[in-house]
């Protein structure tokens, strides 16, 4: 059997809106807005440079229905680049780009083969003795196990299964097209090209069962290097699964301990140093999108909370000082703690601490707060309710009133303690 190489990608989410850009302007913000397109363009260039034999997209090419035809036209252009050099592409639709999700359609170049959503379909590459099997999603919520209907392996071929699946809800992802790893291993295929889980992973070797991960991180929970997989096959055996990093924006979480800071200016210096070190260490020529988290126990807790907007502006100034597209600060989170204020103190702070502790166990007060806050929480936008990182707001959203009282009390105590 001939040797060959192919690219396995998925979870591209073309034109997906990236988080944290509201009100942001400038070159860095624009780079983030177009990151999914840039990453896919980079991957197609890598496919051409590597002279791969074919290209597999295992679902969620799109992020939902197109706003206009520009998203589809961009994809057609990229497939045309592959067509020019004779690289066929095999496309499977997942939950985000299921038949029912995309209302607009464009005719794709002849080098692109789309797996049917009605039943499993097999495509052959006779010159390489390859058979690819897959089934696209007809609707977003596919709860059936699709693997059972996939055909038996084609004798004498290298068999590739293409599947969009939660594989039991890995990584907290919705368990679409549920199946078990053992089913994939025992199917008789040589390689499973999986997508839907956004963290790249080789779950099994010989046969290989591989999640390629998403192509471009879109928020802080998709941090670190992102890309696709380059698969090398020699004499019917997978010899290598190599990462192809295509992301142009790389997300990173930067904890900054401020325990030893005597003034907020010291915290600003530490933040500036952390950004500079991260760019030198992790950016690798990409824009580094940073979430900064101030940590530790400090008497400055209340002051830092009160000056969070100023600290964020200082962090963004430090990033811009490295160049307009070196780093971008998505958020600065004050996660410090104040030194414990003992309820045994005989002053106003001790009285306040005792009130907070009693409020935390007052069922009537908690019920009243839960009722009043519940009305406000229900009016919040869905993305705020599901994605907030603010500890006080999250406690309110989750209905954890005792925790809400504790957080609010700690803030009040910290502010008052500054003045004592």
Provide, rounded to the nearest whole percent, the portion of the chain with pLDDT above 70: 82
Q: Residue 16's pLDDT is what?
A: 86
How does residue 400 score in pLDDT terms, banded at 50, 70 and 90?
A: confident
* Token digits of residue 94: 């997942």
Q: Name the residue among 10, 346, 340 with its Cα closest to residue 163.
A: 10
Structure token digits, residue 80: 């045309």
pLDDT 10s digits, 73-94? 999 999 999 999 999 999 999 9
Q: Mean pLDDT over all residues of the chain?
A: 87
The confidence band for 350, taking pLDDT boundaries of 50, 70 and 90, is low
Average pLDDT score over residue span 141-149: 93
Query: Distance (Å, rounded) from C-alpha 308 to C-alpha 306?
Result: 6
Q: Percentage of the chain with pLDDT > 90?
A: 65
Lowest-confidence range among 131-135, 143-147, 292-296, 413-417?
413-417
* Cα 228 to Cα 311: distance, rounded to the nearest angstrom: 36
For residue 58, pLDDT beyond 80: yes
The angle formed by the CA atoms of residues 162, 167 and 168, to the nearest 5 degrees, is 165
Q: Does the pLDDT at position 352 exceed 90?
A: no
Q: Name the band, by pLDDT with cuts 50, 70 and 90, for residue 222.
A: very high
Mean pLDDT of 217-224: 92
d(CA 341, CA 119): 65
Q: Of 300 and 347, which is predicted with more confidence?
A: 300
Name which residue leads in pLDDT, 205 or 388.
Answer: 205
Residue range 210-239: average pLDDT?
95
Q: What is the spatial distance between Cα 194 and Cα 60, in angstroms, rounded to a whole number? A: 11
Residue 151 makes CB contacts below 8 A (sequence gap 6+) with 120, 122, 133
375 and 346 belong to one structural domain? yes
CATH number reported for the structural domain that contains residue 150 in this entry: 3.60.21.10
Higher pLDDT, 24 or 186: 186
User: Both 280 and 186 in a single domain?
Assistant: no
Q: Indicate if the pLDDT at residue 412 is higher than 80.
A: no
Question: Does the pLDDT of residue 378 top 90, yes or no?
Answer: no
Q: Is residue 364 predicted with pLDDT exceeding 90?
A: no
Which among 210, 245, 280 is the end of a domain?
245
d(CA 328, CA 273): 14
Residues 215 and 346 in one domain: no
Q: What is the mean pLDDT of residues 245-260?
A: 96
CA 63 – CA 214 distance, rounded (Å): 12
pLDDT at 180 over 60: yes
Contact status, residue 288 vs residue 282, Cβ threshold 8 Å = yes
Higher pLDDT among residues 219 and 408, named by residue: 219
How many other CB atoms sit within 10 Å of the CB of residue 107? Answer: 8
Q: How big, in percent rounded to 5, are the helix, strand and coil portions of the chain? A: 35, 20, 40
Q: Please choose, from the candidates 219, 218, 201, 198, the residue with its C-alpha nearest in 3D space to the C-alpha of residue 210.
A: 201
| Whether residue 383 has pLDDT greater than 80 | no
**pLDDT tier for residue 194 given thresholds of 50, 70 and 90:** very high
Q: How confident is the model at residue 174 (pLDDT cuts 50, 70, 90)?
A: confident
How are beta strands 112-114 and 121-125 bridged, if at all? unpaired
Residues 239 and 139 in one domain: yes
Residue 38: phi, psi to the nearest 5? -60, -40
For range 332-353, the mean pLDDT: 68
pLDDT tens for 1-10 read: 579 999 999 9
The predicted structure's pLDDT at residue 398: 75
- What confidence tens digit (pLDDT) does each residue in 118-135 have? 999 999 999 999 999 999
On whether both 277 and 350 belong to a single domain, the answer is: yes
Q: Does 182 lie in the same domain as 140?
A: yes
Whole-number pLDDT of residue 342: 47
pLDDT-based confidence at residue 28 (cuts at 50, 70, 90): confident
Check whether residue 156 and residue 262 sit in a common domain.
Answer: no
Residue count (the chain): 420
Range of the domain at 307: 249-419
The domain boundary, picked from 245, 271, 294, lies at 245
Q: Domain tally for the chain?
A: 2
Q: Are residues 25 and 76 in the same domain?
A: yes
Range in 170-184, 192-206, 316-330 the model is least confident about = 170-184
Q: Is the pLDDT of residue 98 over 60?
A: yes
Q: Are residues 395 and 253 in the same domain?
A: yes
Looking at the fold, whether 215 and 291 belong to one and the same domain comes out as no
Residue 338 phi/psi, 5-degree rounding, is -85, 150
Q: Quote the CA–CA distance of 111 and 239 in Å, as a whole number.
A: 26
pLDDT at position 241, please?
Answer: 98
Place of tokens 């040589």: 190
Confidence of residue 173 (pLDDT cuts 50, 70, 90): confident
Q: What is the rounded distance in angstroms from the CA atom of residue 214 to the CA atom of residue 225?
A: 10
Residues 266, 231 within the same domain: no
Question: pTM for the whole thing?
Answer: 0.83
Q: Are residues 230 and 359 in the same domain?
A: no
**Contact present, 115 and 90 (Cβ < 8 Å):** yes
Domain boundary, last residue among 176, 211, 245: 245
User: Please, which residues have CB within 8 angstroms of residue 78's CB and are 6 or more apart in sequence?
Assistant: 40, 41, 44
Rounded Cα distance, 183 and 227, in Å: 27
Q: How confident is the model at residue 365 (pLDDT cuts 50, 70, 90)?
A: low
């Amino acid at each position: 059997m001939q040797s060959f190489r192919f690219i396995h990608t998925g979870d591209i989410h073309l034109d997906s809106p990236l988080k944290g850009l509201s009100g942001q302007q400038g070159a860095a913000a624009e780079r983030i807005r177009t990151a999914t397109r840039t990453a896919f363009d980079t991957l197609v260039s890598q496919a051409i440079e590597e002279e791969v034999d074919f290209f597999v997209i295992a679902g969620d090419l799109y992020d939902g229905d197109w706003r206009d035809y520009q998203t589809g036209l961009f994809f057609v252009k990229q497939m045309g680049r592959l067509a020019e050099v004779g690289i066929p592409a095999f496309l499977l639709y997942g939950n985000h780009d299921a038949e029912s999700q995309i209302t607009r359609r464009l005719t794709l170049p002849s080098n692109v083969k789309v797996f049917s959503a009605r039943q499993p379909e097999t495509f052959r590459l006779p010159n390489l003795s390859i058979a690819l099997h897959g089934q696209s999603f007809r609707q977003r919520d596919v709860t059936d196990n699709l693997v059972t209907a996939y055909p038996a392996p084609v004798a004498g071929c290298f068999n590739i299964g293409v599947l969009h699946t939660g594989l039991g809800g890995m990584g907290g992802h919705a368990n679409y097209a549920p199946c078990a790893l053992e089913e994939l291993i025992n199917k008789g295929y040589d390689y499973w090209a999986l997508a839907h889980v956004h963290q790249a992973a080789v779950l099994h070797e010989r046969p290989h069962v591989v999640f390629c991960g998403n192509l471009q991180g879109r928020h802080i929970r998709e941090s670190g290097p992102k890309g696709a997989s380059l698969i090398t096959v020699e004499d019917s055996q997978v010899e290598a699964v190599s990462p192809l990093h295509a992301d142009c924006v790389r997300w990173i979480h930067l904890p900054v301990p401020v325990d030893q800071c005597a003034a907020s200016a010291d915290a600003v210096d530490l933040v500036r140093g952390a950004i500079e070190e991260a760019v030198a260490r992790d950016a690798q020529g990409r824009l580094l999108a940073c979430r900064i988290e101030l940590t530790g126990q400090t008497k400055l807790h209340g002051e830092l909370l009160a000056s969070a907007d100023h600290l964020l502006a200082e962090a963004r100034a430090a990033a811009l000082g490295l160049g307009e597209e070196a780093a971008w600060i998505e958020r600065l989170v004050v996660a410090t703690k104040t030194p414990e204020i003992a309820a045994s103190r005989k002053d106003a702070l001790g009285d306040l601490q005792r009130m907070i502790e009693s409020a935390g166990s007052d069922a009537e007060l908690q019920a009243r707060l839960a009722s009043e806050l519940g009305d406000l929480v229900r009016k919040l936008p869905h993305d705020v309710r599901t994605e907030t990182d603010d500890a006080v707001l999250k406690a309110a959203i989750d209905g954890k009133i005792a925790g809400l009282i504790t957080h609010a009390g700690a803030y009040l105590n910290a502010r008052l303690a500054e003045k004592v």
